[in-house]
Every structure is written in C-alpha cells, then in structure tokens.
Amino acid sequence: MKKTFEFSADHEKYILKNTNPNEEKEEFVINKKEMQFDTNAFYKYVFSDIISEMEVEIVDKTADNDKVAKRVYGIVSEISKEVMKKMNEKCLQNIQ
C-alpha cells in the first residue's frame, strides 16, 4: 500500500497535504518565518493511522528555482522515508 502526499509552498508556509480525497485531517504546515518542525504534529499527520507495511511518497510541487523549499522538501522526504523504513522493519512486518 502507498500513502501519497504533496509538498508545496506559498508566501507564508510549507504545506504537506495528503492526496487522498477522503482525508479529513488538517494539513501539516511549517511556518516560513518561524521554521519550526513540530515532530508530534508531523507524526500524527503522516504516520498515526498506518497499521500495515506501507510506502510513503511525497511529491514535490514547489517551484524549481526555490532552493530553500527544495531543501525543506528534501528533509521532510528523508524523514518520512527513514521513519517508514524503520516502522516496516520493526513494527509492522508481523501485522497482517
């Protein structure tokens, strides 16, 4: 199974949004001025409802020339990839 998110930016924030049309949770946001990454909110938004082995994909929708957004996307994407890898290895492999 796969969960897909879109990473985008506007003038005030970076936004991670689940592409599932039935998603009811508030988007995960990083305020550009504060640049605070709320790990608890991130975990709840991306991982809290995962109950079986899964792949998480984050699609970059930021402007090609926005170097800061590309860096933030890279960090968010890498965190997601590594957390999901560990969850699949240690927590979810025996759950079916």
How does pLDDT run across 17-70, given as a tens digit for each residue?
A: 999 988 888 999 999 999 999 999 999 999 988 777 788 999 999 999 999 999
Range of the domain at 45: 2-91
In a domain, 77, yes or no: yes
Structure confidence at residue 81 as a pLDDT band (50, 70, 90): very high
For residue 16, give the H/E element and its range: strand 13-18
Structure confidence at residue 94 as a pLDDT band (50, 70, 90): low
- Whether 93 shows a pLDDT value over 70: the answer reads no
In a domain, 96, yes or no: no
Question: What CA–CA distances, in Å, run from 22 to 14, 18, 19, 38, 76?
Answer: 22, 9, 9, 24, 23
Q: Give pLDDT, residue 24.
A: 86
| HSE toward the beta carbon, residue 35, CA cutoff 13 A | 7
pTM metric for this prediction: 0.88
Hey, what are 82's tokens? 């590594």
How many whole angstroms separate alpha carbon 75 and alpha carbon 79? Answer: 6
In a domain, 66, yes or no: yes
How many domains are there within the chain? 1
In a domain, 21, yes or no: yes
Cα 2 to its chain centre, rounded Å, is 13
